[in-house]
Amino acid sequence: MADGRAALTAMFASARSEGRAVLLPYLTAGLPDPDSSVEIFAAMAAAGADGFEIGIPYSDPLMDGPTIMEAGERALKRGMTVDRSLDVVRSVVERTGVPVLVMTYVNPVLHRGIDAFFGAAADAGAAGVILADLPVDEAVPFVDAATRQGLGMVLFVAPTTTAGRLEKVVAADPAFVYAIAEVGVTGERDRASVNTASLAASLRERSDVPVVFGVGIASPDQARQAAADGDGVIVGTAIVRRVLDADSARAAIEELTPFVRDLASAVRR
Amino acid sequence: MKLERPDSAGRFGSFGGSFAPETLMPALTELERAFTEAWGDPSFREELDGLLASFVGRPTPAHRATRLSDRLGIDLWLKREDLAHTGAHKINNTVGQGLLAKRMGKPRIIAETGAGQHGVATATAAALLGFECAVYMGEKDIERQALNVYRMELLGTEVIPVTSGSGTLKDAVSAALRDWVASVENTHYIIGSVVGPHPFPWMVREFQKVIGEELQGQLDGSKGHPRPDVIVAPVGGGSNAMGVFYPYVGDTSVRLVGVEAAGLGIETGHHGASLGHGSPGVLHGAMSYMLQDAEGQVLEAHSISAGLDYPGVGPEHSYFKDAGLVEYDSVSDTEAVGALHLLSSTEGIIPALESAHALAWITREAASLSGKTVVLNLSGRGDKDVQQVAAFDG
């Protein structure tokens, strides 16, 4: 069995040895269509992405703002399913060789069964799983299943997270901590600075678990700041919007290639 | 056996819990702490009871429906939540949560609404207690409940249309939760039913159980006040049913029946019967019965009643169902509209379409209820539904 968690650990270790953070772009699976989305991921890997978060669309994405919601609605309307999304994961892993995290919500996982879902994700070559509505309080069966299936489970902290909750998250031993940079749902924020330093410091006091910042990071400047405080940066909405706005997959790739290149050089601090 | 409160994980048996984005979790913990403390504080209870009496108009009467009793061959009583201020039971919860938000020092309130009853009740509590208030409402519901939209605006509340998904209650809850993820530091979310992540299902039940507690005193077995054999209430999210049932749950002499929306008919797939025809899953932060497809995607519900047009249900109802403590059945749009006509013309009370579902069950089952004392929880008045019923009748 491939060890997805080990692949994530190796990714962070190699970036740390180079004195930089990793860049993990997010895109909803199957956007604008399954084959094109694989091409888009391949282009982003060529432009310097270290890994990906691939979204399996869900009907009620509570943590997502309008852009990623629209992406999910479009993908579902065009017939994306869990299995078709995992086919995209498989193709992206085969094409790029970088670690891929599957991102979705709790219910599609519970509906299939946690082990069945995680097993299918591992079989598709995924390295880890992120569930946006899974707080540490409900995480035990998911963390256990991830371990059984050789996947890295990711858990969240937010600017609102108390010290007691930080302890619980660290104690649950996630593959990395997804640190929510801004109070709010996913989306681009028109602000010069991101608020990542204090959250990073409270985690560092407790553990050397990798810390990846996401939510509200949309520009190379914001990515540079987050990368100074953490081990990685997730950019979602800014990527998804460029794909939604493009007339074709080719246009999306032309738009994304320089953008991802700029982000990748930004996380090199 | 019924539970005084859910376990430390917020579970009623296997249902409930807190499946919410991490950003909200500290606020949910803080809310649980603040509510526990307030609920045990006699001065909070005194202030709430005072408002329930002088502002809401409690206790609401238990009224015997004499003509309909004769017609159906049963002893039919109506618990008159339609007479509560703003015309439905929703105000019991919004005044309670409003006082709690004040105690917690939150200046802003948000809510979701389906039929508009909870939105109006929240807007009312916000005006009473001096909060800034925004209510999320699906665009389809804004169309079918225009009067309630204007009422909320008169009360100083901003009504925010929700265009995502089916444009109904489910999407309004999701939109309100998204607002809360961004505004949690200065905002309290007054959820309108016994749904959502812990502690909401428990807290809303505690604020609504006044309905059943009053009924126990009103129909106490004294002369002319027979104890109920059967209590029937409509179930969307399930707050009015929870409120009237809870004090009776476990009392084996009383049959409790929750009535869900069969919409266009269960067999058409266009219904809102999460308990009767759904399966367990996580919706809006809690594990409960819900309507979902083979992929675990949430299905759109259908009901002529905006308040029952919801693909989920409160987790404690799921617990009651599996424990066999409450029965759940469903009636169609057509049956509900028929019952609305019947109560209007026979008793001089126009019920909300939600409440009409419960009456439709009683009329359908009347033969088997012969001679029994049956209480209908008349959860709201039907003024808001008049136009829609006129359109349905053609």
pLDDT tens readout for residues A41-81: 999 999 999 999 999 999 999 999 999 999 999 999 999 99
Within 13 Å of residue A257, how many CA atoms lie on the same side as its CB? 10
Mean residue pLDDT of chain B comes to 96
Query: Start-end ranges of CATH 3.40.50.1100 in chain B?
Result: 11-51+90-205, 59-88+209-393
Task: State the pLDDT at residue B261.
Answer: 98
Span B171-184, mean pLDDT?
Answer: 93
Burial profile A73-90: b = 16 or more Cβ within 10 angstroms, e = fewer: bbbbeeebbbeebbbbbb
Residue B7 corresponds to which tokens in the numbers above?
């376990």
What is the ipTM for the molecules in this complex? 0.95
Span B50-59, mean pLDDT?
Answer: 98
Option in A108, A133, A160 nearest B295 (CB): A108
Q: How far apart are CA B211 and CA B61, in angstroms?
A: 10
List all residues of chain A from 233 to 262 with a beta carbon under 8 Å from chain B: none
For residue B264, give Cα distances in angstroms to B236, B268, B301, B302, B308.
16, 6, 11, 8, 13
Q: Which residues of A touch B191 (CB under 8 A)?
A: none
Cβ within 8 Å of residue B283, ≥6 positions away: A60, A107, B170, B290, B298, B311, B312
> Percent of chain A at pLDDT above 70?
98
> Percent of chain B at pLDDT above 70?
100
pLDDT band of A193, cuts 50, 70, 90 = low
Cβ within 8 Å, pair A65-B27: no
How far B294 CA lies from chain A's nearest CA (Å)?
Answer: 8
Residue A73 forms contact with B (CB below 8 Å): yes
Cβ within 8 Å, pair A160-B26: yes
At position B62, the amino acid (one-letter code) is A
Asked if residue A1 has pLDDT above 80, the reply is no
Residue with tokens 């265009």: B163
List all residues of chain B from 161 to 200 with a beta carbon under 8 Å from chain A: 164-165, 170, 174, 177-178, 181-182, 184-185
Catalytic site positions of B: 90, 112, 379
E strand map for chain B: 11-12, 15-16, 62-64, 75-80, 108-113, 132-138, 158-162, 187-189, 230-234, 255-263, 279-283, 286-290, 327-332, 373-378
Q: Which residues of B touch A107 (CB under 8 A)?
A: 281-283, 292, 296, 298
Catalytic site positions of A: 53, 64
Q: How far apart are CA A165 and CA A154, in angstroms?
A: 15
Domains and CATH numbers, chain A: 4-264 (3.20.20.70)
Task: State the pLDDT at residue B120.
Answer: 97
Cβ(B263)–Cβ(B271) below 8 Å: yes
Residue A63 forms contact with B (CB below 8 Å): yes
How far B183 CA lies from chain A's nearest CA (Å)?
Answer: 7
Q: The CATH number of B11-51+90-205 is which of 3.60.130.10, 3.30.930.10, 1.10.645.10, 3.40.50.1100?
A: 3.40.50.1100
- Mutate which: B11, B19, B198, vs A, most A CBs within 10 A: B19
B27 → chain A, closest CA residue: A160
Q: Which residues of A touch B181 (CB under 8 A)?
A: 62-63, 183-185
Q: How far apart are CA B324 and CA B348, in angstroms?
A: 35
Option in A58, A133, A161 nearest B19 (CB): A133
Mean residue pLDDT of chain A comes to 95
The string of pLDDT tens digits covering residues B334-373 is 999 999 999 999 999 999 999 999 999 999 999 999 999 9
pLDDT band of B166, cuts 50, 70, 90 = confident
Cβ within 8 Å, pair A106-B282: yes
Task: State the pLDDT at residue B114.
Answer: 87
What count of other Cβ atoms lies within 10 Å of the Cβ of residue B222? 9
Cβ within 8 Å, pair B23-A159: yes
The string of pLDDT tens digits covering residues A130-185 is 999 999 999 999 999 999 999 999 999 999 999 999 999 999 999 999 999 988 89
Asked if residue B147 has pLDDT above 90, the reply is no
| Angular region, A10: left φ>0, alpha ψ -120 to 50, beta rest | alpha
> Percent of chain A at pLDDT above 90?
93
Task: State the pLDDT at residue A38.
Answer: 97
Residue A65 forms contact with B (CB below 8 Å): yes
Option in B18, B295, B298 nearest A135 (CB): B18
Option in A73, A111, A165 nearest B295 (CB): A111
Cβ within 8 Å, pair A69-B19: no
Task: State the pLDDT at residue A194.
Answer: 65
Task: State the pLDDT at residue B10.
Answer: 98
Q: How far apart are CA A41 and CA A24, in angstroms?
A: 11
pLDDT band of B272, cuts 50, 70, 90 = very high
Task: State the pLDDT at residue B306.
Answer: 87
Domain B59-88+209-393 - what CATH class? Answer: alpha beta
For residue A66, give Cα distances in angstroms to A188, A225, B163.
10, 25, 11
Option in B170, B184, B297 nearest A183 (CB): B184
Residue A160 forms contact with B (CB below 8 Å): yes
Residue A180, classed as helix, strand or coil, is: strand
Option in B21, B29, B185 nearest A133 (CB): B21
Long-range contacts of B58-65 (CB under 8 A, 24+ apart): B58/B84, B58/B92, B58/B210, B58/B214, B59/B214, B59/B217, B59/B218, B60/B84, B60/B211, B60/B214, B61/B218, B62/B214, B62/B215, B62/B218, B62/B219, B62/B225, B62/B375, B65/B343, B65/B346, B65/B347, B65/B376
How far A121 CA lies from chain B's nearest CA (Å)?
Answer: 15
Residue B106 forms contact with A (CB below 8 Å): no
The string of pLDDT tens digits covering residues B95-113 is 999 999 999 999 999 999 9
Q: Which residues of B touch A160 (CB under 8 A)?
A: 22-27, 184-185
